[in-house]
Structure 1
Amino acid sequence: MRSEGCARICRFPFDNRVVQLSLSGRELKQVVAEEVLRRRPGALGISGMRVLAGCAGDGLRVSLVRPSGRFVEASERLVVVTTDFLAGGPVFASVIPVGGYALTGRAPIARAVVAAWLQRRGGHLAEAEFVDPVRRRWESADSLAGSCLAQ
């Protein structure tokens, strides 16, 4: 529980900090594929691209696609914004560089960032502004229930 900066006491289970990571397209595809293999497709919030996942003859196939329809290249550098909790945990573990990420205590607190963003929007959200039912951010083929997840 906190009272600093709040008119009344605020409750938040812990304070995640917002961090930026630089990943290659290959590394981000790996992170996404591992989440699918953990049977957590869609658990990561994706913005600025779509995830296409399905089983192929050689196992799980993941593609990252920009709104223009262009596929993210393996060598392309991407800025990934996440929380320090996710960046330092199992979600990004396979792509953490030697020595880890440079995470600082000066990074903004996610709770404050989200509150400020929501306030700038007038305190309201509408699903239609963020979700396109025709072009979902996570597209998983029915075949994901198949054998490629057992590998």
Structure 2
Amino acid sequence: MTDRSRKARRAGVAATMAITLLGSTACGVILYPERKGQVDGRIDPAVAVLDGIGLLFFLVPGVIAFAVDFATGAIYLPGSANNTTLDLDESELVKLKNGELDAATIERKIEEKTGEKVSLADPALRTRKPDGQAWLPLNAVLDQTQFAALTGVRQQAAR
């Protein structure tokens, strides 16, 4: 083998490895790490095309890229999700009278303030604690007793 063909072969192997590594780590997560945690919305065509290119050239890394982008939410355009998110940093204090602390009253108050219908028992609803970064389901922020008291929905204990 000549020196020139060795260099070309090494460059080809390096390029293949780089493309495989990039494809297997998912384009959306690399390009838009701030999108992690989104649960819904319109799909970003640029991320979908990049993931699709990975799928065209390398089947396994392309599938992994799509799976990671969907699982993390990085494939969704920001601000395009349904309004099922409560941001506790931007919350407004609403005082309720004794006996009014139930899901129906809270849902009605949210609708009055935002104009959006919200169900506290909706599994797509995400919130975060004021000091937290991750968006979590409401039942992950509240303990089982609080969640059941608020929504009337009982969760099965993990085994």
Same fold (TM over 0.5): no
Higher helix share: 2
TM-score, L = length of structure 2: 0.22
